[in-house]
Each structure stands twice: as structure tokens, then as C-alpha cells.
Amino acid sequence: MSLQLVFDALSLGGIYAIAALGIALIFGVMKLVNFAHGQFIACAVFALILPTADAVAVLGLGALPAVLLIPAIIGFGAGLAVLAEALVFRPLRHASPVALMVGSFALGVALQNLLLVLYGGRPKAISLWPDLGQPVQIGAAQVPLLQLIVIGAVALILGALALMLKRSRLGLEMRAAAEDFGMARLLGVRANRVISGAFALSGALAAVVALVLVAQTGVADVRMGGQIMLVAFIATVVGGMGSLPGAVAAGMALGAASALLQAFLPDAARPFRDAFLYALVILVLLFRPQGIFASASAKPRV
């Protein structure tokens, strides 16, 4: 029972961590809270099926074998995010952060309605890799194979991303831009390259979340992504706006706390699980208003 719970907590936390990372990456380089991130996830899910308003979904990209499907969907997510940056956020680059945020909301609403027009309002079923549901016996716990894959993939992605940020030129530029964008530009960092790079990574992460969600739930719905976006945003706030390790840690913590509350809250209180979860968030923010891992740029420079 307890080992099972560890896997439940890790897999949910992993999904939230990846989603939070997608938001923190963009916030780091351009101080934009991208509220359209949830719709990026939804679009990547719907990219698996052909656009039709019929009740039964027909697999499009989703029919490809996994070796092609995974890069295709990740590429789709990255492309969508880069396109959104070029068409929506680049013209707004010098606008106030509030205008940027409103712009991201507008983009989210536009994407959601685009999906409604193309696919209709009814949820669709997608049978993606049903074999991943097979339970695997680990000690006393029976864990669905997918949970293990999620946990493994999250670890892999985090490792690769950390390596990229530490070792590659783009990673160095992104870290520099997160620290002080003006100074980085003066030292020869090209703003468009860094920002496009951050959007591409963020979109790719949204696509990873989309694949995990579909494999887990088997459905596509235009409203999906919204709840994950909310949790991910809260995770970036709790983790410290702009801090990548903070976003990952807080995403993980929120997922774990959610799984634990579900397991241990008494019957009558369980429907209010999220209220307890967010009460914990408030408690953390009361003691650390700047978040757990506040980045240097978050402090006012006076």
C-alpha cells in the first residue's frame, strides 16, 4: 500500500513538474506567464486525431508507430509554441507584462475555439498504446507500466534539460537572459534566438504532457490542459517565479501532496482535496512570499 502510494505520488508529481517547467522556462526569459500553455497541451492531444466533428475519432498522427509518433508530436508542440511566439508575443515584446499576460489568455481562448470549430465540443476517445496499462509487480505494489514510464521519462527529461542548460550555448544564453536580459543582450546574446528557443522547449514539454495524459486517460477534450496549467502555474509561483529547479520541485511536491491527501483525508473531507492542497500553498507563500527558490532577478533592485 505505501509503496504503491510512492509510485502514485511520483507519477502525478512528474506530470505537474514537466508542465510547470514549460511555464517557468518562458517566464525566465521574458517575464511572461503563458496562460495558453494548457491549450498547447490540448492542441498536441488533438493533433493525434483527424479534424472532424463526428462523434467517433479517427487517428491521424496517432496511428504512427511510437518511434515516429513521439518526435512528431513533440515537434508539433514545439512548432506551435514557436509560431505563437512569432505571431503573438514578438509584436508585444515591449508591452507591459500585464498586456503580455492578457495576450496569452487571448491566445488560449483563440486556440480553444479553433479546436471547437475543427473537432466539435464532444470529448473524443483515443486508444493510444493501451498495452501500457499492464500492471507490473514491484515488491508489494502493482504499478501500471505507464506510471513507471512516466517516472522514467520525467527523470530523463529533467536530466537532459539540466545538461543542456549547463553545457550548451543556448542553455548558457537562456540562463544569462533569465538573470538579466538587458545585460545579456549587451554581451551579444541574440534575444530572438533565446526566446524562440525557450518557446520551442516549452512547447515540446507541453507535447510530452499531452502524450502522457492521452496514454493515461484515453480521451481528448477541448477543455483538457486547463487544470494542469493551473496547477503548473501555482507550482511556478510556489517554486519561485523564474526558478527552474523551483518549478520542478514545487510541481513534484504539489502532485505528491495531492496523491497523499487523496489517500489519507477522511471520507467527508475528500471532495475538498484541492481546497486542502491550496491551503497548503497559501501556508507556504505566507512564510516564503517570493517562493521556495526565488531567482535573483525576482528581487527588487534598489
| Contact status: 5 vs other proteins (CB under 8 A) | yes
Write out the binding residues for other proteins, residues 201-240 only, by CB under 8 A. 212-213, 216-224, 226-228
User: Could you say which of 34, 39, 104, 147 contacts other proteins (CB under 8 A)?
Assistant: 147
Kindly provide the residue ranges of all beta strands, DSSP E only, lying in the chain, ordered along the sequence: 124-125, 135-138, 141-144, 219-220
Write out the binding residues for other proteins, residues 14-43 only, by CB under 8 A. 15-16
Stretch that binds other proteins, among 5-13, 153-161, 236-244, 245-253 (CB under 8 A): 5-13
Burial of 231 (0-12, 13-18, 19+ CB in 10 A): buried
| Contact status: 135 vs other proteins (CB under 8 A) | yes
| Contact status: 12 vs other proteins (CB under 8 A) | yes
Q: Which is nearer to other proteins, 107 or 256 (CB)?
A: 256
Q: Which is nearer to other proteins, 3 or 160 (CB)?
A: 3
User: Could you say which of 139, 267, 287, 301 contacts other proteins (CB under 8 A)?
Assistant: 267
Burial track 254-286 (b if 16+ CB lie within 10 A, e otherwise): bbbbbbebbeeeeeeeeeebeebbeebbeebee
Stretch that binds other proteins, among 11-19, 78-86, 162-170, 280-288 (CB under 8 A): 11-19
* Range 100-103, long-range pairs (CB < 8 A, 24+ positions): 100/30, 100/31, 100/32, 101/32, 101/33, 101/35
In the chain, how many H helices and how many E strands? 11, 4
CA pair distance 12, 35, nearest whole angstrom: 21
Q: Compute the half-sphere exposure of residue 129: CA atoms within 13 Å on the CB side of its CA.
A: 21
Per-residue binding letters, 87-126, with other proteins (x by CB under 8 A): -----------------------------x---xxxxxxx
| Contact status: 52 vs other proteins (CB under 8 A) | no
Q: Which is nearer to other proteins, 138 or 274 (CB)?
A: 274
Burial of 91 (0-12, 13-18, 19+ CB in 10 A): exposed
Query: Interface residues with other proteins (CB under 8 A)?
Result: 1, 4-5, 7-8, 11-12, 15-16, 54-57, 116, 120-127, 130, 132-135, 142, 144, 146-147, 212-213, 216-224, 226-228, 259, 262-263, 267, 270-271, 273-274
